[in-house]
Amino acid sequence: MTNKAEVLNPVAITGLLVAAMRADESTRPDRLFEDPFAAILAGERGKDALATYRAAVGPSIPIIEVRTRFYDEGLERAADDGIRQVVLVAAGADARAYRLRWHSGTRVFELDQPAVLAYKAAVLAGSEPTCERVPVPVDLAKDFSGALRGAGFDSNRRTAWVVEGLLQYLEEPTVKLLFERIDALSAAGSVVLYDAVGRAALRAPQLQGALTMMKELGAPWIFGSDEPASLLPRWNVQAIDPGDIGRPLGRWPIPAPPPNTPARPLGYLLEARKA
Instruction: Identify the pLDDT of residue 4.
Output: 64
- How confident is the model at residue 2, as a pLDDT? 43
Q: Rounded distance, CA 45 to CA 126, Å? A: 21
pLDDT value, residue 57? 82
Round to whole Å and give the CA distance between 86 and 21. 24
- The contacts of residue 199 (CB under 8 Å, 6+ apart) are 224, 225, 226, 264
In the chain, domain spans? 2-254+261-274
Q: Which residues contact 225 (CB under 8 A, 6 or more apart)?
A: 196, 197, 198, 199, 231
Q: Which CATH superfamily is domain 2-254+261-274 in?
A: Vaccinia Virus protein VP39 (3.40.50.150)
CA dist 176 to 162, 167, 205, Å? 16, 10, 28
**pLDDT, one tens digit for every residue, the chain (275 residues):** 444 676 689 999 999 999 999 999 999 999 999 999 999 999 999 999 999 988 888 777 899 999 999 999 999 999 999 999 999 999 999 999 999 999 999 999 999 999 999 999 999 999 999 999 999 999 998 999 999 999 999 999 999 999 999 999 999 999 999 999 999 999 999 999 999 999 888 888 878 888 888 999 899 999 999 999 999 999 999 999 999 999 999 999 888 878 776 667 889 999 999 99
